[in-house]
């Protein structure tokens, strides 16, 4: 069953824009057919009652669908990577349950955020997150934040119950604390917000890692292999899903 997000309460359900055109022109749906409408993080099974110009009017039934969201809100902070890797991370991390994406300008980031084109790129990433949320039957669309500086990211660490960084030195160590063990501590403390930080292609610098740790972050071991910038966040989210779900 097709899924659409709206920003208004379900009592005022009206599907507009591209979603409405998708219903009418692509799906060729008719009055009386049902769709899933997500309003205020709840998925409602709704009936199409009318087509009002370019809009689709729907009415909620008394049926809802259980939320598939992770029991903790996981924000992914990643150093700006090259090419279209940020798009890949946005799409796949959304499918895996990411709550929000926070790019940052890392010391080893080769790519610089173009202020002139930034708004359009951020809008595209937000659209990718929306489509991925619909495809994976989420009830939350991850927010894609505008990139922040390293200094700004450090200042934001205190907003989260737990913070982890992917440190290559941790992966190379002979004795590593398994990520699963650290996640159990998070679960025991009933943490509700978790920030996981990843570097760009060159990884997090030693200076950055030390600063994060001094600000309260913990290192996380993602196994003995060194993962690509676009792979590491997906590995971590999969581990979190396995541990909590």
| Domain 73-244, CATH | 3.40.1280.10
Q: How many other CB atoms are there within 10 angstroms of residue 186's CB atom?
A: 19
Residue 36: predicted pLDDT? 97
Residue 168: predicted pLDDT? 73
Residue 51: predicted pLDDT? 95
Six-digit token string for 57: 């009017």
What superfamily would CATH give domain 3-65? Hypothetical PUA domain-like; domain 1 (2.40.240.20)
Separation CA 97–CA 78 (nearest Å): 16
Sequence ranges of the chain with CATH classification 2.40.240.20? 3-65
Coil/strand/helix, residue 132: helix
CA distances for 176 relative to 19, 75, 78, 168, 210, angstroms: 47, 24, 22, 11, 17
Pairing label, strands 100-105, 143-144: parallel
Under DSSP, the state recorded for 178 is B
Residues contacting residue 181 through CB under 8 Å, at least 6 positions apart: none
Residue 176: predicted pLDDT? 64
Residue 179: predicted pLDDT? 84
pLDDT mean for each 10 residues of the chain (245 residues): 93 94 94 96 96 94 95 96 95 98 95 83 96 96 96 97 85 68 75 92 93 94 87 95 89
Sequence ranges of the chain with CATH classification 3.40.1280.10? 73-244
Residues contacting residue 130 through CB under 8 Å, at least 6 positions apart: 5, 141
The whole-model pTM stands at 0.92
Question: Nearest to residue 233, comparing CAs of 18, 77, 26?
Answer: 77
Separation CA 29–CA 98 (nearest Å): 31
Query: Environment class of residue 11 by beta-carbon count within 10 Å: exposed (0-12), middle (13-18) or buried (19+)?
Result: exposed
Separation CA 127–CA 240 (nearest Å): 25
Residue 79: predicted pLDDT? 96
Separation CA 221–CA 237 (nearest Å): 13
Residue 111: predicted pLDDT? 83
Residues contacting residue 24 through CB under 8 Å, at least 6 positions apart: 51, 56
């Amino acid at each position: 069953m097709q899924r659409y997000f709206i920003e208004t309460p379900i009592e005022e359900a009206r599907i507009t824009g591209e979603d409405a055109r998708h219903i009418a022109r692509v799906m060729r749906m008719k009055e009386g057919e049902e769709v899933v409408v997500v309003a205020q993080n709840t998925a409602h099974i709704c009936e199409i009652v009318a087509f009002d110009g370019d809009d689709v009017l729907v009415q909620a039934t008394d049926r809802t669908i259980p939320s598939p969201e992770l029991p903790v809100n996981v924000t992914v902070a990643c150093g700006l990577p090259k090419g279209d890797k940020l798009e890949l991370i946005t799409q796949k991390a959304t499918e895996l349950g990411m709550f929000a994406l926070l790019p940052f300008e890392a010391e080893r980031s080769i790519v610089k955020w173009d202020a002139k084109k930034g708004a359009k790129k951020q809008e595209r990433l937000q659209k990718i997150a929306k489509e991925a949320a619909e495809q994976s039957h989420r009830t939350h669309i991850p927010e894609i934040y505008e990139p922040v500086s390293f200094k700004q990211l450090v200042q934001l660490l205190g907003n989260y119950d737990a913070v982890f960084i992917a440190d290559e030195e941790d992966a190379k160590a002979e004795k590593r604390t398994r990520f699963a063990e650290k996640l159990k501590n998070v679960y025991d403390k009933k943490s509700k917000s978790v920030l996981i930080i990843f570097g760009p292609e060159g990884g997090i610098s030693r200076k950055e890692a030390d600063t994060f740790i001094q600000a309260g972050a913990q290192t996380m071991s993602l196994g003995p292999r060194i993962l690509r910038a676009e792979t590491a966040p997906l590995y971590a989210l999969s581990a979190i899903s396995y541990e909590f779900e």
